[in-house]
Structure 1
């Protein structure tokens, strides 16, 4: 996945989620902004946070289903461990959601 601009200049995720999680690239262009960074950098941060939240929620659902399947197969301990991991994952997503809200609030004030 990478970010591109649509015909209106909005930054959007591109490349889809084909479950090839090759992260051989970095997001330095999102994190190396200096003071007063605005415009495309902040748009990219908002787009990336939105994408990652959605992406993580999808994977949490997949893991939850995996845990249910393992439970049906009699692997209670593995299922319980995965469910605990999903709960931790969801806590992380809550923090990402809060960060996204804070970024958006900051942009409104700027």
Structure 2
């Protein structure tokens, strides 16, 4: 194999290894938010289905802290959102009951994940 082909093959393998899919159930306590991607990362897509009985607000948060509302997932609703590199996906439960989502994350899955109070 020629050196250039070896380099391209190696780069392709590295890129594929950093991309993947995560499937998970997500429970968000009352009055809390789940934050995905507060670290340095590439772009990713989240598909979410609201399996619970309370609405969940989906927001994106830029590096400067600016939040943009993307959707409100009513019970039974499904949404798919693309998030740019170094953008935080925020799933907000503003109700007094717990929320449940089924999520699939594709793209860069090397993401920090955690809960925060509103």
Confirm or deny a common fold (TM above 0.5): no
Bin for the TM-score computed over the shorter chain: under 0.3
What TM-score do the two structures reach when normalised by structure 2? Answer: 0.25
Q: TM-score, normalised by structure 1?
A: 0.26
Q: Identify which of structures 1 and 2 has the higher relative contact order when contacts are C-alpha pairs closer than 8 Å and 6+ apart.
A: 2
Which has more helix, going by share of residues? 1
Judging by fraction of residues, say which structure has more strand: 2
